[in-house]
Amino acid sequence: MEFETYSSPLQKLVLDRKPLSYSEEEIRNVRLRRDIAVLYAQVFADEPWNEKTRCVSCGAFSSEQGVCSACGTRLVPAYPMKDMMEYFRSELGKDNSVLAYAAEENDLPIAFAWGFPLSVEQFVDMKYKTESMRNALRSLLIPVVGDSFFYFSECGVRPDQRKKGLASILTNQMLNSAQSYGLPMVMRTNDRSPMVKIAQRVGMDKLPYDDLENLQRVIFTRT
């Protein structure tokens, strides 16, 4: 598998930097995040996303190697380990974030989900570029969820472990987390994502919404 090559250099890097002061818990967390980073790249390289590479210039994802078909610039791995570790640090470092994952007997994660409480203001600021879409989202979301919610950020299942209900189990974990915080849940995804079916299965409602920044986007809420 091509993604396995990321794992050993990174682990070495982490352990080399601070060889004596890492607690077992910290090492476990770093390993877990590294394993989830590998899994993340594996999940999104597969159907229906096929995000194997990304253009360094225009940012478009591709399933090809070599150069970008849109702008001719070099393609690099879509989700390199270094970027993913940064992303996890930012996402899982948020206040009261929740990570749920399923693992094999050897502790290797095969499915992941995470989320965190977010205000509508933080959400529109983080996720939308234009003031008109930010305003549209404010007036759509606030009457449904109020000022804040639990944002179900990401979920993925290793391709060979699909169709076993893992994503539904993890989605229900996220709903339980939202409930334990006394918050509604919001999920934003793409209309071709398998998460659409799961959102419907767990009783989430589709927000009536046209995203002018990306027409394939859909939002589900559960109050």
Q: Across the beta sheet with 61-62, what order do the strands follow?
A: 61-62, 53-55, 75-77
Contact 144, 207 (CB under 8 A): yes
Among residues 59 and 159, whose Cβ is nearest to Zn ion?
59
Nearer to Zn ion by Cβ, of 70 and 108: the residue is 70
Work out whether 70 is an interface residue with Zn ion (CB under 5 A).
yes
**Residue 68 in the binding site for Zn ion (CB under 5 A):** yes
Residue 164, classed as helix, strand or coil, is coil
User: What string marks each residue from 132 to 171 as x (binds Zn ion by CB under 5 A) or -?
Assistant: ----------------------------------------
Tell me the closest approach of the beta carbon of residue 67 to Zn ion, in angstroms.
Answer: 8
* Interacting residues of 209 by C-beta distance below 8 A, sequence separation 6+: 136, 137, 140, 218, 219
What secondary structure, in 3-state letters, does 113-139 show? EEEEEEEHHHHHHHHCCCHHHHHHHHH
| Min dist. Cβ of residue 62 to Zn ion (A) | 8
Residue placing its CB nearer to Zn ion in the complex, 58 or 108: 58
58 lies in the binding site for Zn ion (CB under 5 A): yes
Give the integer Cα–Cα distance in Å for 1 and 81.
15
* Residues 6+ positions from 13 with CB-CB distance below 8 Å: none
Query: How many chain residues bind Zn ion (CB under 5 A)?
Result: 7
Question: Which CB atom, from 57 or from 168, has the smaller least distance to Zn ion?
Answer: 57
Contact residues toward Zn ion (CB under 5 A) are 55, 57-58, 68, 70-71, 73
